[in-house]
Amino acid sequence: MIKTENLTKKFDDNLAVDRLTLEIGEGEVFGFLGPNGAGKTTTVRMLTSLIAPTVGTATVMGYDIIQDDQNIRRNVGILTETPGLYDRLSAWRNMTIFANLYEVEDVDGQAGKYLRMLGLWERRNDAVGTFSKGMKQKLAIARALLHEPQILFLDEPTSGLDPEAAKLVRDFVEELSGQGRTIFICTHNLDEADRLCDRIAVFNTRLRVVDTPAGLRKRLYGRQVVFHLADEAAPYLAQVASLPFINSAEAIDNKLLLALDNPEKENPGLIRALVAANANIQFVGELRHSLEDIYLQLVNEDEQ
């Protein structure tokens, strides 16, 4: 659905996007993570044919972003970083204006469908300026969906929203993903990316890494198992570290942190070894690094 090759954007001497090459499949929810000024919005603007790349090519739904800009704009939906609504006009008027601009045939039907779906129907005749931030964001999402795009670009969809509104938006994104749409999300919210995205790219002017959330964890930390013991863990460290399937071992207070390739297969043997050594095991679990750890490690590497 989206394919880029060496996509590069320079503003005078400032390199905003450097040789971005990636491929996003149909129905995929793709997270695009990066710090402020990393070039995420510039990438979205190039992929939606709003600005032209300096070098490189990209196709969206098979359309070239330079040659077929009108077709791309006709077929993708975009939620910009700020909702950009007409505050003096009603929600209904905002929707019908964009439905007409997107050449939607059933303007009233589509506007009504998405206003209802996002819980804004009752407030359709109110000026958008009277809406809360969350309501405006929902209206902007509804606007992006009016022409039923197969690809949706969401730039910081939950930024600045309260937890309830953010959850509503996340649930809606999940619902859209369930409909088979391809969704490209730029976000700072790592937990959100972890929960919503099939694959995640960490981007800071250039692409640092692309993988599934689980793949990223594995790639950076391997798989780790933590044993909570009733007493100090240090005395058991040497014994477990000598086991052939243990990649690394660490004792912190009453916890043993063990890296191994296949916990499902190797945990029973590990438990037997610890029990044989008279360790009193309280709990065993897989240590799950947050996406934040991974993200910070990659971004810090860039800074260094």
Partner 1 sequence: MNKVKTIISKEWAEVFKNRIVLFTVAFLPIVFLALPIITLAAMGSFEDEMSVSSGEMEAFVGDLCQGLNDMACTEVYMLNLYTLLFMLLPVIVPVTIAAYSIVGEKTSHSLEPLLATPITTTELLVGKMIAACVPAIAATWTAFAIYAGVMWFMVSEEVFKLAMAPMWLVAVFIVAPLMSLMAVSAAVLISSRVSDPRAAEQLSAFVILPIILLLIGQSMGLILIDARMILLLGVLVLVLDVILVTMSVKLFQREIILTQWK
The least CB distance from residue 85 to partner 1, in Å, is 7
Q: Name which position in 4, 48, 204, 224 contacts partner 1 (CB under 8 A).
A: 48
- Enumerate residues 135-154 that contact partner 1 by CB under 8 A: 140, 143-144
The piece of 91-99, 197-205, 233-241, 268-276 that touches partner 1 (CB under 8 A) is 91-99
| DSSP code string of the chain | -EEEEEEEEEETTEEEEEEEEEEE-TT-EEEEE--TTSSHHHHHHHHTTSS--SEEEEEETTEETTTTHHHHHHHEEEE-SS----TTSBHHHHHHHHHHHTT-SSHHHHHHHHHHHTT-GGGTTSBGGGS-HHHHHHHHHHHHHTT--SEEEEESTTTT--HHHHHHHHHHHHHHHHTT-EEEEEES-HHHHHHH-SEEEEEESEEEEEE-HHHHHHHHH--EEEEEESS-SHHHHHHHHTSTTEEEEEEETTEEEEEES-HHHHHHHHHHHHHHTT--EEEEEEE---HHHHHHHHHHHHH-
The piece of 79-87, 178-186, 203-211, 240-248 that touches partner 1 (CB under 8 A) is 79-87
- 15 near partner 1, judged by CB under 8 A: no
Q: Name which position in 73, 170, 208, 217 contacts partner 1 (CB under 8 A).
A: 73
The least CB distance from residue 70 to partner 1, in Å, is 5
- 223 near partner 1, judged by CB under 8 A: no
- 88 near partner 1, judged by CB under 8 A: yes
The piece of 97-105, 118-126, 192-200, 262-270 that touches partner 1 (CB under 8 A) is 97-105
Question: Among residues 100 and 248, whose Cβ is nearest to partner 1?
Answer: 100
Q: Which residues bind partner 1 (CB under 8 A)?
A: 11, 42, 45, 48, 50-52, 70-71, 73-74, 78, 80, 82-89, 93, 97-98, 100-103, 140, 143-144
